[in-house]
Structure 1
């Protein structure tokens, strides 16, 4: 083809999503696989959400509510904020894209960490922006080094808290010290996709930074703790002036009707939410202890996942587990070639993972 494509687009590397169960079973001719790879809710969606969605399906011929009116008001009440401070998207990924579309131009610079959620850097590159990437320090955001990267071209900074893939967090004091070094013209994006799983005493309250001198945007999602990853619904929490600009570049009807209805029902199902957090916390601790008995090193995490140093080639172990119908996430793309990342599933799935891991470690001569 002779179509001219800008270099920053031609050089983009697509985001590598976790392997779907259906793809695995097609490739290997197996069934009954399990997936502990994509930080999904092991308990599944709220039964109330499933029921509400099923009851709404006869209205699929109607366009969705472009303003997410009922979801916005319910969430605003829960968060005790003005609904004008909420912008909803097709997953919080879309909010990342909207921020880039509204506030970045060619040559503008954005500071991120490595490793972190890979979408940040892709979105910046797609806008013709420049990524300034700072390595993590001891698996945590190096806020000091990130602040030192700020210059006249800096327009935005992305901080995922907890970090993906390490699950580490920074404290409110550390964040406030960092903000004191950020110019008022720079937007700080605080990605809190996994905030629900953070121990309460370690959580930041993003709301208290929305009216500060430095513009702060908090990103959250219904994909993790609320179990609605397949519906793609997330939101940004920000000053209403920033929100107004995002609405100018947001496509109409960007959140579909089942997603809005499911998210509203899930928000109201406090029992399922509580059970999700309790089960994740319990199973994560159990899995870490069992994995370490197999001779691998695990890392503490404030998210619904954790890293495992398998003592060998993480991708080879990943592929070995695939043949047993177990999907985990290899960490080579994140700069950790000996690591895998797992998300606790149901207890029976976790038991199966441990059996498969033990077999793979033995056959590959990894671990102890």
Structure 2
């Protein structure tokens, strides 16, 4: 029996896995994939311009892949086609298939990377149809896939010749013909997502496609009346025959080329004044057609930043702090200093709202200079630190460039990177364990930094973990960095911390050996979230780059005097610090008592193990008048518990006891 038991166990385990895989396979077969759902929901293209019926469309590289998919779609919409390829058999087969579908199509076997081949293409259109309306420069090759310096000169020449020189000659021929015949028309240059970021081993391909975008942009200045409309379209990776032949499994996971069709149709028929000289993204167009049509850039898919409305017992209710304890945004439950309220009232009399504020904020600079022992020209201001973060990101990083930060990190910073098309490297935070202290994992962050990194973003105390950066670890980290690489340290909750080893950011800025940017806000510890005051501090040369994009009158006079009053009320600051520290310590002690794992915090929140039904707990607390953040981390295993007043914390702890 002892000898057969392991065999039986393994047999049953294998059978169970087989059944499980069978169920997964059936689910895959019976459930629409994300790609299928996307294709089903593709936007309809509505345009005031004439459609494609009877238009003569020339498509290079149309015997397979994207070119063939577009030819089939345009032909189905009534266009008369001229398809091109370099292999006679492939061209003949394509023409035969499309004609069998009832489409009007002619085929041209020609190398359109040469003047002779391009002439053949246009001659075929004139012979068959007597005219042409749209040229789609689609033919391209991937080029050598290896480090650029290892590619042979003839490989580079071939890639540029096919991907850029040919389309340039074809575009010139198309424009010349249309002008000579006094006819409106269009040229569509097909680019690639490879131009919007940095892709290793693809320098020749990416550079040639970027050249197409430059051609599109600059030719518009020679064609100001937009009768001949030249547009570029950036394509994402899609499933094609060529990709499937080299790596079937990877290609199968890519979306179908059909998802590109709405963008192609729009570029062929949309309003010329919105398309001429512009580069559109097919991916962004699918996400938001109107946005991409108007903006043609990373801003096209941005949505307004709004928190979900507060819903209690099925009804949307106002965020009234007089009736509900609002702890979901780390707002200070101790309230602002009485001196702040007095300053606000007085400001409306001494400096009426009918007058602009003093735009240099001299008094606030002086107060912050004393607070941090820094010269008063070390400060820049913004309506909250969120605006300053967005400004710093835009100043130092361009779309496609890299920023390194901790993961998961603060969602607001992550969202800012996404909204600006920044490639964000999120380095997992070290949550500790086995007696080790949780840390920012600066060793891994240093390894993530490359020559393309434009900014490093750190948070102390961290969000969501509440862990401070240590002075010693930061110094060690900076020692390995280029001194001019900006490192922004967000200290939104620094005033709550009681860690004596916490990094001294003003001290690092004062030393001036590295490009340190400190970032603070009056929204949290000083309980002035509604007045919107944030500030960055750095060495003047670095700070000047940030201040160049600062809007005049970015702070109101009322906000400025309130901030000064908050800094000056040492008694209230001590009250908030002591109260928050005591409530945090008591809450952590109670969490340990009831066996809820958590990370020791220096912030007004505690990163803790999620209870069994956290969603239900959030809902019940809201019904009891306490709103906490519903966010979960680590696949639902961890949550952020707010530290409020003692009675608020008690209610949260009671709820945790019920939902353990």
Normalising by the residue count of structure 1, what TM-score does the alignment of the two structures yield? 0.89
Does 2:390 correspond to 1:97? yes
Residue matched to 2:620: 320
Q: 1:297, 1:287 → 2: CA distance?
A: 12
Q: Indicate if the aligned counterparts of 2:312 and 2:619 stay in contact, CA closer than 8 A.
A: no
Residue matched to 2:525: 225
Q: Quote the offset at 1:6 in angstroms.
A: 4.6
**What stretches of structure 1 of length at least 5 have no aligned partner?**
none
Check 1:130–1:87 CA distance in 2 against 1; reply closer, same or farther (3 A cut): same
Paired residue for 1:27, among 289, 312, 315?
315
Q: 2:326, 2:563 → 1: CA distance?
A: 23
Q: 1:18, 1:67 → 2: CA distance?
A: 36
Q: 2:597, 2:316 → 1: CA distance?
A: 29
Q: 1:213, 1:277 → 2: CA distance?
A: 31
Secondary structure in 1 matching 2:489: strand
Paired residue for 1:266, among 566, 582, 604?
566
Check 1:167–1:13 CA distance in 2 against 1; reply closer, same or farther (3 A cut): farther
Q: Once structures 1 and 2 are overlaid, which stretch shifts more, 148-157 or 295-304?
A: 295-304
Name the Cα RMSD after superposition. Answer: 2.5
- Number of equivalenced pairs: 358
Q: Quote the offset at 1:135 in angstroms.
A: 1.0
1:1-368 aligned at under 5 Å gives the runs: 2-3=290-291, 4=293, 5-6=295-296, 8-10=298-300, 17=307, 24=312, 27=315, 32-58=323-349, 59-138=352-431, 139-210=438-509, 211-332=511-632, 334-335=633-634, 337-355=636-654, 357-358=655-656, 361-362=657-658, 366-367=659-660
**What stretches of structure 2 of length at least 5 have no aligned partner?**
1-288, 432-437
Q: Indicate if the aligned counterparts of 1:233 and 1:255 stay in contact, CA closer than 8 A.
A: yes
Q: 2:373, 2:367 → 1: CA distance?
A: 10
Q: Once structures 1 and 2 are overlaid, which stretch shifts more, 122-131 or 90-99?
A: 122-131
Q: 1:151, 1:164 → 2: CA distance?
A: 24
Q: Quote the offset at 1:90 in angstroms.
A: 0.7
Q: Indicate if the aligned counterparts of 1:313 and 1:337 stay in contact, CA closer than 8 A.
A: no
Check 1:310–1:84 CA distance in 2 against 1; reply closer, same or farther (3 A cut): same
Check 1:46–1:38 CA distance in 2 against 1; reply closer, same or farther (3 A cut): same
Q: 1:112, 1:14 → 2: CA distance?
A: 24
Secondary structure in 2 matching 1:330: coil
Q: 1:200, 1:341 → 2: CA distance?
A: 20
Q: Quote the offset at 1:118 in angstroms.
A: 1.6
Check 1:19–1:173 CA distance in 2 against 1; reply closer, same or farther (3 A cut): farther
Q: Quote the offset at 1:26 in angstroms.
A: 8.6
Q: Cα deviation per residue 1:29-63 (whole Å; 9 max; x = unaligned)?
A: 79932122222212100000001101112411111
Q: 2:353, 2:303 → 1: CA distance?
A: 35
Q: Quote the offset at 1:188 in angstroms.
A: 0.4
Q: Quote the offset at 1:12 in angstroms.
A: 5.2
Secondary structure in 1 matching 2:380: strand
Q: Quote the offset at 1:335 in angstroms.
A: 3.6
Secondary structure in 2 matching 1:57: helix
Larger of the two Rg values belongs to structure: 2
Q: Indicate if the aligned counterparts of 1:225 and 1:276 stay in contact, CA closer than 8 A.
A: yes
Q: Quote the offset at 1:322 in angstroms.
A: 2.1
Check 1:127–1:258 CA distance in 2 against 1; reply closer, same or farther (3 A cut): same
Q: Quote the offset at 1:154 in angstroms.
A: 0.7
Q: 2:308, 2:471 → 1: CA distance?
A: 32
Higher relative contact order (CA 8 A, sep 6+): 1
Q: 1:122, 1:252 → 2: CA distance?
A: 25
Q: 1:2, 1:236 → 2: CA distance?
A: 36
Residue matched to 2:72: none
Normalising by the residue count of structure 2, what TM-score does the alignment of the two structures yield? 0.51
